[in-house]
C-alpha cells in the first residue's frame, strides 16, 4: 500500500493553480485520449482544455513562493491528480506544436511544467517533491524532441539551457526535504492521539486499521506500541536525513540497510505500522531524486557544450559518482554517463 502524506496548503500558491485547472472531475476520461495516436481526438481535448491551461500558465507566472506553514495532513494522490492532468495536456500541446513546426510553443510547455515542478519542490512536501522529479524527467523527453527537430534553432537551445539552469539553481536539497518530512511525521504522531483519525487518514486505510484494532491499541493511554512506533520513526528518519550530507551513490548502503530493517519488522508483534507506511521505499525515493538531478544535468551539460558555454566546474554525477562525459560527434554533442537516464543529444545549429 502506497501511503504518501501531504500537507495541504491554504488558499494560496498551488491551491489557486489547482482551482484554475479542475479538469480532474470535469474532464475525467478525456485525459486518457492523450495517450492514444488519434490526433483528431487529441486536438479536440486540447481545444476544450485550452482556456484552463492558459489560466494555469497565468497563475504560474504570478506565484513565486508557497506559504511556509501548511496546516493538516492528507493523502496526496487526490490532491496531485489535477496537476498531473495539466502536465499531460502540456506535453500533448508540445507534441502537437512540434508536428506543426511551432517550436516556440513547445519550449513554452517545457517552461511552464518546470515552473510547476519548482513550486512542488519549494513546498517542502516529500510527495510533491517526488512528483516534481517524475514530471521533470518526463519533460526531458520533450526537450530532447525539441532539440532533435529539424526546425530547431540556436535560440531554442538557449531557451532550454536557461530553463534547465534555473532548475539547477533553485534545486531543493534532499536534506531539507527529509528534515521537513521528519517534522511532519512527528507532528502526525502527536496528532494521532488528539484528533479524530478520520481527519488524518484516508478512508481505506482508516477502515483497515480499525478492523485490525490497531487504532484502538494506539489510542490507549501510555500505549507502548504507539511510543515504540514513534521512536522507530524518529530514529530512522533522522538517519535518512543525516545520510543526505553525501551524494546518493555514497548513501546507498545506509538507505538499503534502513529499508531492510523496516522490512524485517513487518508482521512482528509490535509492528511499527505508521513508521513503515511513512518510510517505505526510501531507497527508491532517493534514487528517483538522484535520477532527476542527473537527467537535468546531463541535458544541461550537452546544451552548454553545443552553445559553446564553458562549465565553471566539471560536474560530478550525483547518481553514479562519475563525471559527465561529453562526446563531440560530427553533427552535434552528446552527454552520457553510466546510469539509467538516456544520453542527451544536441545537434549543432
* Span 309-324, pLDDT tens digits: 877 666 778 888 888 8
Q: Which of 172, 204, 222 is the last residue of a domain?
A: 172
Does residue 151 register a pLDDT over 90? yes
For residues 83 and 65, what is the distance between their CA atoms, to the nearest angstrom? Answer: 17
- Report if residue 276 sits inside a domain: yes
Give 215 or 342, the one with higher predicted confidence: 215
Residue 42 lies in a domain: yes
Residue 69 lies in a domain: yes
- Most confident among 59-63, 98-102, 194-198, 207-211 (mean pLDDT): 98-102
Cα→Cα distances 62→12, 148, 167, Å? 11, 32, 18
pLDDT surpassing 60 at residue 119: yes
- Three-state helix/strand/coil letters over 149-176: CCCCCHHHHHHHHHHHHHHHHCCCCHHH
Looking at residues 81-107, what average pLDDT do you find? 91
Same domain, 182 and 165: no
Q: Is 90 exceeded by the pLDDT of residue 212?
A: no
Which residues on neighbouring strands pair with residue 335, listed in sequence order? 326, 344
Higher pLDDT, 177 or 33: 177
Q: Hey, how many other C-beta atoms are within 10 angstroms of the C-beta on 252?
A: 17
Query: Minimal CA–CA distance to 86: which of 51, 121, 36?
Result: 51
Strand partners, 275: none
Mean pLDDT score of the chain: 82
- Average pLDDT score over residue span 114-118: 92
The alpha carbon of residue 127 and the mean position of all alpha carbons in its chain are separated, in whole angstroms, by 7
Examine residue 294 and state whether it is found in any structural domain, yes or no: no
The answer to whether 283 touches 299, Cβ cutoff 8 Å, is: no
Q: Work out the average pLDDT over 59-71.
A: 57
Q: Does residue 164 share a domain with residue 196?
A: no
Task: Identify whether 236 is part of a domain.
Answer: yes
Pair 120, 206 in one domain: no
Q: Point out the least confidently predicted range of 62-76, 126-140, 148-162.
A: 62-76
- Mutual angle of helices 39-62 and 103-122, in 10-degree steps: 50
pLDDT band at 345 (very low <50, low <70, confident <90, very high): very high
Say yes or no to pLDDT of 4 above 80. no
**Residue ranges making up the domain that contains 33:** 5-172
**48 occurs within a structural domain:** yes
Q: Using the 3D structure, point to which of 125, 151, 172 is the last residue of a domain.
A: 172
Same-domain pairing of 157 and 260: no
* Residue 344 covered by a domain: no
The pLDDT tens digits for 10-34 are 334 566 556 655 544 445 455 555 6
Q: Cα separation of 181 and 280, whole Å?
A: 13
Q: End-to-end CA distance of the chain, in Å?
A: 48
87, pLDDT greater than 70: yes
Question: pLDDT of 225-279, one tens digit each?
Answer: 889 999 999 999 999 999 999 999 999 899 989 988 888 888 887 889 889 888 8
Q: Are strands 5-8 and 72-75 parallel, antiparallel or unpaired?
A: antiparallel
Instruction: Give the whole-angstrom CA distance, residue 302 versus residue 307.
Output: 9
Res. 343: pLDDT tops 60: yes
Q: Say whether both 190 and 74 belong to one domain.
A: no
* Average pLDDT over every residue of 69-79: 51
What global pTM score does this model have?
A: 0.84
Are residues 107 and 139 in contact, defined by beta-carbon separation less than 8 angstroms? no
- What pLDDT shows up at residue 43? 83
27 and 151 housed in the same domain: yes
pLDDT greater than 90 at residue 103: yes
Residue 117 lies in a domain: yes
| 106 in the same domain as 66 | yes
More confident residue, 339 or 167: 167
**Looking at residues 183-204, what average pLDDT do you find?**
81
Report pLDDT for 73: 42
Confidence of residue 297 (pLDDT cuts 50, 70, 90): very high
- Name the residue with cell 553545443: 306
DSSP state for residue 316 in the 8-state scheme: B
Both 166 and 88 in one domain: the answer is yes
Pair (199, 145) in one structural domain = no
Q: Could you give the percent of the chain with pLDDT greater than 70?
A: 82
In this structure, what C-alpha cell is assigned to residue 346? 544536441
On whether both 26 and 73 belong to a single domain, the answer is yes
Q: Check residues 255 and 73 and name the one with the higher pLDDT.
A: 255
For 13, other C-beta atoms within 10 Å of its C-beta total 20
Same domain, 96 and 240: no
Domain count, the chain: 2
**Structural domain ending residue among the three candidates 172, 188, 213:** 172
C-alpha cell at 9: 496548503
On whether both 151 and 47 belong to a single domain, the answer is yes
Distance CA 145, CA 133 (A): 19
Amino acid at each position: 500500500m502506497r501511503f504518501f502524506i501531504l500537507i495541504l496548503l491554504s488558499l494560496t500558491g498551488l491551491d489557486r493553480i489547482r482551482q484554475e485547472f479542475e479538469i480532474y472531475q470535469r474532464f475525467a476520461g478525456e485525459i486518457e485520449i492523450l495517450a492514444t495516436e488519434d490526433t483528431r481526438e487529441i486536438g479536440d481535448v486540447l481545444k476544450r482544455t485550452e482556456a484552463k491551461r492558459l489560466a494555469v500558465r497565468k497563475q504560474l507566472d504570478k506565484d513565486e513562493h508557497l506559504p511556509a506553514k501548511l496546516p493538516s495532513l492528507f493523502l496526496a494522490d487526490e490532491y496531485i491528480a489535477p496537476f498531473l492532468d495539466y502536465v499531460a495536456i502540456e506535453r500533448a500541446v508540445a507534441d502537437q506544436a512540434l508536428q506543426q513546426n511551432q517550436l516556440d510553443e513547445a519550449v513554452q510547455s517545457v517552461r511552464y511544467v518546470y515552473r510547476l515542478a519548482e513550486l512542488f519542490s519549494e513546498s517542502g512536501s516529500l510527495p510533491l517533491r517526488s512528483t516534481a522529479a517524475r514530471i521533470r524527467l518526463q519533460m526531458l523527453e520533450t526537450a530532447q524532441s525539441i532539440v532533435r527537430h529539424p526546425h530547431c534553432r540556436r535560440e531554442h537551445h538557449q531557451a532550454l539551457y536557461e530553463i534547465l539552469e534555473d532548475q539547477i539553481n533553485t534545486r531543493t536539497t534532499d536534506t531539507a526535504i527529509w528534515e521537513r518530512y521528519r517534522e511532519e511525521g512527528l507532528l502526525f504522531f502527536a496528532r494521532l492521539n488528539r484528533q479524530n483519525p478520520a481527519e488524518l487518514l484516508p478512508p481505506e486505510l482508516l477502515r483497515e486499521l480499525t478492523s485490525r484494532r490497531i487504532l484502538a491499541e494506539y489510542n490507549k493511554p501510555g500505549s507502548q506500541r504507539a511510543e515504540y512506533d514513534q521512536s522507530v520513526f524518529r530514529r530512522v528518519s533522522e538517519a535518512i536525513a543525516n545520510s543526505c550530507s553525501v551524494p546518493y551513490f555514497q548513501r546507498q548502503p545506509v538507505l538499503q540497510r534502513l529499508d531492510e530493517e523496516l522490512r524485517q519488522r513487518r508482521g512482528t508483534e509490535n509492528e511499527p505500522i505508521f513508521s513503515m507506511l511513512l518510510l517505505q521505499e526510501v531507497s527508491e525515493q532517493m534514487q528517483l531524486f538522484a535520477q532527476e538531478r542527473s537527467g537535468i544535468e546531463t541535458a544541461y551539460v550537452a546544451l552548454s557544450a553545443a552553445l559553446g558555454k564553458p562549465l565553471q566546474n566539471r560536474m560530478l554525477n550525483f547518481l553514479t559518482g562519475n563525471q559527465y562525459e561529453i562526446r563531440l560527434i560530427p553533427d552535434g554533442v552528446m552527454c552520457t554517463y553510466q546510469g539509467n537516464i538516456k544520453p542527451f543529444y544536441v545537434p549543432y545549429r
